[in-house]
Amino acid sequence: MALRSASELPLSAELASELEQNQKQLIGLVIDPAFRLHDTGLGHPESPQRLEAIEAELQRRGLIQRCRLIQARPAVDLELLRCHTASYLQTVRREVAYGAAQLSTGDTTIGEHSEDVARLAAGGTLAAVDAVLAGRVNHAFALVRPPGHHAEADRGMGFCIFNNVALAARHAQAVHGLERVLIIDWDLHHGNGTQAMFWSDPSVLYASVHEWGNYPGSGAAEERGEGAGLGFTLNCPLPAYSDGQAVLTALDAALTPVVARFRPQLVLVSAGFDGHRDDPLGHFLLEDADYTALTQLCLAIATEHAGGRLVSVLEGGYGLKGLAGGAAAHVEALLAA
Q: Is the pLDDT of residue 145 over 70?
A: yes
pLDDT tier at 7 (50, 70, 90 boundaries)? very low
Cβ contacts of 24 within 8 Å, gap of 6 or more: 68
- The backbone torsions φ and ψ at residue 146, rounded to the nearest 5 degrees and listed phi first, read -70, 160
The answer to whether 288 and 251 are in contact (CB under 8 A) is no
Q: Which helix (H) or strand (E) holds 233?
A: strand 233-238
What span, in angstroms and rounded, lies between the C-alpha atoms of 148 and 160?
5
User: Which is nearest to 265 in space by CA: 304, 311, 299, 306?
Assistant: 306
pLDDT tens-digit readout, 70-104: 999 999 999 999 999 999 999 999 999 999 999 99
CA distances from 86 to 61, 78, 81, 155, 253 (A): 43, 10, 7, 11, 39
Distances (CA, A) of 326 to 57, 204, 294: 10, 26, 11
Catalytic residue among 84, 150, 189, 305: 150
DSSP H stretches of helix in 143-276: 164-176, 192-197, 244-262
- Residues above pLDDT 70, as percent of the chain: 93
Decide if 148 contacts 162 (C-beta within 8 A): yes
Q: Given its phi and psi angles, is residue 317 left (phi above 0), alpha (psi -120 to 50 degrees) or beta? A: left
Whether pLDDT at 15 is above 60: no
Q: What is the mean pLDDT of the chain?
A: 94
User: What would the mean pLDDT of 138-154 be, rounded to a whole number?
Assistant: 98
150 is a catalytic site residue: yes
